[in-house]
Structure 1
């Protein structure tokens, strides 16, 4: 893995309430296009390290730490998907990019779709990665139970402390969705999340931000409808397996059909042999994303 993919430039972009931390992997050619990459609910901008490596300087990649995470953890609320979408728009404006290509993973896919709907002159194309499609809660399932099921593991991690950095590595290396796929890049990504001092290191994610954002992914009608209101070119890539490498992923052909997605307007394709995380970090997953962002096909 190249040094630059793990150690991008870190910039600050003015947004309401302060500054948004943004990681930047510059293109080899200053005239190359720029892509904005939006991470998931408890992630940070370094989640895109493998995609950046596979882009190999063909585009400039800008990946913000969303409000309430990593380098943007001190940027106060209000939180929520619309706030993140507006922060993405502010980033695009600050760099003079519009209309830009925006890619989002997991919760970042909802943010990406919402940014395109709220700021159509700034977003010219979107790539949605294992996210953006919302399904109604099953009959008899309470909102608070659904939130606990989805956010429970993440909230547990946010409440934990770790005596040293190796303990955090050990915690992540046990994650069933990572398994033998552990890499120098995943290590750097997880370490970016740590704040505090030994023996009480903890995740940088602000609990209120994660709770607010998670509720809106499940329950906010505006966010759920964004993918169906897109007016720009769009594509969905989905992982075959789930957040814990379980056989049932977030999406499959039946669920996508049931969601009402117009696949003529938003083509949807599986990335074989990937789960919710490896679709970003494996050769096949990151390669498929990079190929879409450069106008190629995997």
Structure 2
């Protein structure tokens, strides 16, 4: 694993490169996550491949990269990275990163030869009339509250995650590495590196622009695999993408092939070995 700085509109993004192969896969993470969330997937890449996992604007090593945020901005960053690395490349996105990946693939299909979506990328139904701020607090409020907390030490921050209901039963070294990568600050004031401004802006965009992601899916000219989990962010059923929504978009988007990954939740689908190996296979399988 080594660090990279990659040019994007208005600045540079930090990324982690796993592997030294000539075939390239680019990865986009979730709304409060970082490049390190793809560590398990990278370990399962076949020979000849490298995974370039981005720290999106406002996260990880790109925490100080300013906006604009939102899926248009993240998609433009993904396109710039693909061009810089030598397109076409494979593209994978998890959770929020899946929405950015769908948009990038729909708008610049010449830059990507395959797309893997991990528990994200499908429009979620929102009420016809809704208060975006209120809905934001209900959906991402708990995550933002965690970003504002401080911890006595990095170990205390790790312990907080180790007790998370979606992680506790399957805690592993990849999850611990992810949490340690996210931690910043002096003892007594350790916190997440993720920008609350970025999370709110991106969360608002996902809600207000929900219908536009359906347009992106219908416009796809790149083969796409959707791997989705039966359980959600707290390890509960249903998952982030309930089966009726998956079934609907499997019909609406002809190039989308959904696969349920049994016995996973929103996090373990990415950061445990069996599912991570499956993501790697879908990402690197011969066309």
Residues 90-123 of structure 1 deviation map (CA, whole Å, 9 limit, x = unaligned): 1111112x12110000000000000112212212
Corresponding residue for residue 27 of structure 2? 37
Contact 2:63 2:194 in 1 (8 A): yes
Corresponding residue for residue 113 of structure 2? 124
Deviation at 1:284, TM superposition (A): 2.4
Q: Distance in 2 between matches of 1:13 and 1:144?
A: 33
Deviation at 1:206, TM superposition (A): 0.9
Corresponding residue pairs, total: 285
Q: Distance in 1 between matches of 2:278 and 2:134?
A: 35
Residues 45-91 of structure 1 deviation map (CA, whole Å, 9 limit, x = unaligned): 01000011111544110001001101001111111111111111111
Q: Distance in 1 between matches of 2:235 and 2:159?
A: 18
Contact 2:220 2:253 in 1 (8 A): no
Q: Distance in 1 between matches of 2:190 and 2:251?
A: 42
Corresponding residue for residue 164 of structure 2? 175
Q: Distance in 1 between matches of 2:64 and 2:214?
A: 28
Contact 2:25 2:50 in 1 (8 A): yes
Deviation at 1:223, TM superposition (A): 3.6
Q: Secondary structure at the match of 2:15?
A: strand
Deviation at 1:26, TM superposition (A): 1.9
1:25 and 2:45 aligned: no
Corresponding residue for residue 3 of structure 1? none
Q: Secondary structure at the match of 1:205?
A: coil
1:22-101 counterparts in 2 under 5 A?
22-27=15-20, 30-31=21-22, 33-96=23-86, 98-101=87-90
Q: Distance in 2 between matches of 1:56 and 1:232?
A: 22
Deviation at 1:283, TM superposition (A): 2.5
Q: Distance in 2 between matches of 1:227 and 1:15?
A: 24
Corresponding residue for residue 14 of structure 1? 7
Which one of the candidate residues 171, 179, 183 is aligned to 1:190?
179
Given the two structures, how large is their TM-score scaled by the length of structure 1?
0.90
Contact 1:50 1:286 in 2 (8 A): yes
Residues 245-287 of structure 1 deviation map (CA, whole Å, 9 limit, x = unaligned): 0021012331223457536421111001000000001222112
Q: Distance in 2 between matches of 1:59 and 1:110?
A: 24
Gaps of 5+ in 1: 1-7
Cα pair distance change 1:140/1:74, threshold 3 Å = closer
Contact 1:216 1:223 in 2 (8 A): no
Contact 2:114 2:283 in 1 (8 A): no
Given the two structures, how large is their TM-score scaled by the length of structure 2?
0.94
Q: Distance in 2 between matches of 1:152 and 1:264?
A: 35
Q: Distance in 2 between matches of 1:102 and 1:60?
A: 12
1:143 and 2:136 aligned: no
1:195-210 counterparts in 2 under 5 A?
195-210=184-199
Q: Distance in 1 between matches of 2:154 and 2:213?
A: 36
Deviation at 1:163, TM superposition (A): 1.3
Q: Distance in 2 between matches of 1:140 and 1:265?
A: 31
Q: Distance in 2 between matches of 1:164 and 1:232?
A: 45
Contact 1:54 1:286 in 2 (8 A): yes
Contact 1:110 1:226 in 2 (8 A): no
Corresponding residue for residue 205 of structure 2? 216
Q: CA RMSD in A?
A: 1.7
Q: Which moved more, 1:14-23 or 1:239-248?
A: 14-23
Q: Distance in 2 between matches of 1:224 and 1:205?
A: 28
Which one of the candidate residues 147, 150, 159 is aligned to 1:161?
150
Q: Distance in 2 between matches of 1:147 and 1:56?
A: 39
1:241 and 2:231 aligned: yes
